């Protein structure tokens, strides 16, 4: 109801019943918004809509809130925990940080492993990043050898970021200079810059070069080469737990959406739960489900073909995380940080745990993309065995210190079918389409945000949808 219609209704009712009684009786009915998916996007959307007096119900398929924010504690030594999904918060991610403050959570520093200290190539460890540059076992040109790994990154990967115009850092759209790189794969982009195949390998050890070149620059921009990273003391899952706690009974767990639709009077979702099937109707509906698990949901939803295609075709990275619990952080005593990029199946290692080397810690093997898809074909014991063998090559002593493992495969998680979007060339440009409202159905979730692959993206998308709904 617009303002004029509202005032007309108000005075008509006032005449009929007396002004004092009228105000209460004609206050516009609370709009009911059905939200599907209880990850950070869904939780944030429900929490913010409630601030504006909307009637919300949030339907989550699993028995827990948080989605891709999940902290494992069981099965690990007391005090150790493992983030299977979101791990670090860059100091530039104001939306995530403001929720951390709002819910009184405590931050602790997180040491990042982006430009890993050890590069393990052809069976040997090399330590890069300071002079003299290692004698890489690769066929590099004299100039590539002189530049080294960091120099190559500075020369060949900084271009589109340097041509950003002021304000791009804060814009919610993917900047033009980055979109211009959305027509080629990362591998082709680097080849076009004149880099040799081995220099491309050195630069991208452990990385998938078949994604859109623009994606890499967007990831860099979104981190804004952050100076510092944080982790929530006690576990990142305390953030979705705090939001869910605020929402109380408005969150319904164990409700799997099997179909979403709309008509002229409202929007609905058919859910499957312990009691069978049920249709939950609202005036409006927000879906925050990753497109990977949304492919068959919208046959009754009047969704135009371009959007259906985007939902069908958005690719997601397979990701495996394998946490090896070690009796002590022996690598520190050997002068190793525990962070490494490798040409092995375990393409990336991170070190997690308390400060002191004598205390127990975790070596995390973090595998993204094609190699994760390969790991997914192995049974769990073989994955752990392979990871331990890889850890032993990079951090001698791993075998002897190993106590047990916890694992997570996002590609095999039926609620996710992937970790985050692996935008292929052309797909990065479709973020606004992913985010576009279709009648009474609104789209949130990290895949609809420039900050995709981050908690910030989930929260930003929720704030956007709340604005759209209020408007
Ligand atoms: C391996 C990995 C590492 C990451 N690292 C970081 C990091 O370091 N820092 C950072 O900020 N972010 C990181 N992220 C990204 C961050 O976790 C996500 O961007 C964010 O949590 C996504 O929230 P969302 O609400 O959009 O989606 P999700 O969290 O996926 O929420 C979707 C919800 O929908 C539910 N669902 C699925 N299907 C159905 C259905 N049919 N019916 C009902 N419910 C359903 C799911 O159970 C889930 O709860 C990482 C993610 C992964 C996977």
Of 223, 257, 277, at which residue does a domain stop? 223
Residues 468 and 444 in one domain: yes
219 plus 144 within the same structural domain: yes
Boundary-marking domain end, from 157, 188, 223: 223
**Residue-level pLDDT at 25:** 53
Which pLDDT score is estimated for 218?
86
Instruction: Quote the CA–CA distance of 70 and 109 in Å, as a whole number.
Output: 19
Based on the fold, state whether residues 266 and 287 are members of the same structural domain.
yes
132 in a structural domain: no
Rounded distance from Cα 152 to ligand 1 centre (Å) = 33
Residue 198 lies in a domain: yes
Among candidate residues 243, 248, 255, 206, the one with its CA nearest the CA of residue 60: 255
Q: 201 φ, ψ to 5°?
A: -65, -45
Residue 415 maps to a domain: no
Question: Where is the domain boundary, 190, 223, 256?
Answer: 223
Residues 304 and 429 in one domain: yes
Residue 296 sits in the same domain as residue 432: yes
Distance 297 CA to ligand 1 centre (A): 18
Note the pLDDT tens digit of each residue in 366-425: 999 999 999 999 999 999 999 999 999 999 999 999 999 999 999 999 999 999 999 999
**55 assigned to some structural domain:** yes
Both 263 and 310 in one domain: the answer is yes
Percent of the chain scoring above 70 in pLDDT: 91
For residue 132, whether the previous peptide bond is cis, meaning omega lies within 30 degrees of 0, is yes
Identify whether 438 is part of a domain. Answer: yes
Q: Is residue 259 assigned to a domain?
A: yes
Model confidence over 305-337: pLDDT tens digits? 999 999 999 999 999 999 999 999 999 988 888
- Residue in 39, 231, 314, 407 to alter for ligand 1 test, most ligand atoms within 8 A of Cβ: 39
In a domain, 169, yes or no: yes
Report which of 314, 318, 317, 334 is spatially closest to residue 326, judged by C-alpha positions: 334
Residue 206 has pLDDT above 80, yes or no: no
Give the pairing of strands 251-252 and 229-232. Answer: unpaired
Ligand 1 centroid from CA 213, angstroms: 23
How much distance in Å is there from the Cα of 363 to the middle of ligand 1? 23
pLDDT one-digit tens code per residue, 264-279: 999 999 999 999 999 9
Tell me, using a 6 A CB cutoff, whether residue 42 lines ligand 1. yes
For residue 42, the domain's CATH number is 3.50.50.60
| pLDDT score recorded for residue 150 | 84
Atom of ligand 1 nearest to the CA of 455: 11
- Shortest-distance atom of ligand 1 to CA 43: 25
Condensed to tens digits (0 to 9), the pLDDT of residues 411-470 reads 999 999 999 999 999 888 889 999 999 999 999 999 999 999 999 999 999 999 999 999
Residue 111 pLDDT level (bands cut at 50, 70, 90): confident
Q: How much is the pLDDT for 115?
A: 57
Query: Do 306 and 455 fall into the same domain?
Result: yes
Q: Which range of residues forms the domain containing residue 199?
A: 140-223
Structural domain total, the chain: 2
Specify the residue with its C-alpha closest to ligand 1, atom 5. Answer: 86
Q: What is the pTM of this model?
A: 0.91
Kindly give the distance from the C-alpha atom of residue 335 to the centroid of ligand 1, in angstroms, as a whole number. Answer: 35
Same structural domain, 448 and 309 = yes
Closest-lying ligand 1 atom to the alpha carbon of residue 40? 25
- Whether residues 216 and 262 fall in one domain: no
At residue 12, the pLDDT reads 38
In a domain? residue 284: yes
Average pLDDT over residues 290-299: 95
Ligand 1: does its nearest atom lie under 6 Å from the Cβ of 60? yes
Residue nearest to ligand 1 atom 27, measured at CA: 39
């Amino acid at each position: 109801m617009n303002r004029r219609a509202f005032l007309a209704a108000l005075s008509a009712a006032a005449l009929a019943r007396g002004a004092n009684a009228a105000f209460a009786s004609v206050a516009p009915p609370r709009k009911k918004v059905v939200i599907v998916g209880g990850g950070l996007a869904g939780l944030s959307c429900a929490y913010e809509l409630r601030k504006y007096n909307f009637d919300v119900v949030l339907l989550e398929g699993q028995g827990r809130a948080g989605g891709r924010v999940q902290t494992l504690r069981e099965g690990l030594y007391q005090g150790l925990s493992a983030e299977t999904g979101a791990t670090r918060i860059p100091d530039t991610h104001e939306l995530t940080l403001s929720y951390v403050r709002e819910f009184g959570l405590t931050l602790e520093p997180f040491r990042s492993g982006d430009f890993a200290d050890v590069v393990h190539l052809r069976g040997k460890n090399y330590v890069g990043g300071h002079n003299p540059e290692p004698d890489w076992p690769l066929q590099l040109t004299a100039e590539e050898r002189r530049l080294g790994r960091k120099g190559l990154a500075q020369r060949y990967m900084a271009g589109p970021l340097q041509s950003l115009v002021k304000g791009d850092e804060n814009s919610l759209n993917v900047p033009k200079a980055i979109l211009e790189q959305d027509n080629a794969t990362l591998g082709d982009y680097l080849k076009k810059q004149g880099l040799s195949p081995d220099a491309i390998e050195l630069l991208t050890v452990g990385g998938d070069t078949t994604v859109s070149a623009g994606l890499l620059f967007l990831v860099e921009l979104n981190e804004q080469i952050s100076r510092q990273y944080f982790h929530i003391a006690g576990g990142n899952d305390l953030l979705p737990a705090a939001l869910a706690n605020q929402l109380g009974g408005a969150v319904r767990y164990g409700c799997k959406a099997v179909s979403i639709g709309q008509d002229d009077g409202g929007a609905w979702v058919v859910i499957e739960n312990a009691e069978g099937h049920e249709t939950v109707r609202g005036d409006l509906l927000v879906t925050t489900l990753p497109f990977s698990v949304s492919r068959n949901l919208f046959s009754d939803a009047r969704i135009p073909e371009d959007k259906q295609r985007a939902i069908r075709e958005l690719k997601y990275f397979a990701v495996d995380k394998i946490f090896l619990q070690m009796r002590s952080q022996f690598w520190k005593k050997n002068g190793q940080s525990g962070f490494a990029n490798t040409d092995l199946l375990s393409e990336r290692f991170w070190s997690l745990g308390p400060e002191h080397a004598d205390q127990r810690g975790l070596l995390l093997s973090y595998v993204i993309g094609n190699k994760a898809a390969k790991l997914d074909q192995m049974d769990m014991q073989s994955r752990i065995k392979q990871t331990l063998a890889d850890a032993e090559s990079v951090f001698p002593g791993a075998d002897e210190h190993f106590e047990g493992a916890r694992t997570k495969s996002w590609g095999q998680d039926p609620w996710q079918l992937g970790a985050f979007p692996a935008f292929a060339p052309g797909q990065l440009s479709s973020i606004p389409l992913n985010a576009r409202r279709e009648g009474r159905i609104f789209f949130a979730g990290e895949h609809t945000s420039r900050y995709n692959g981050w908690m910030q993206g989930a929260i930003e998308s929720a704030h956007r949808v709340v604005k759209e709904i209020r408007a």
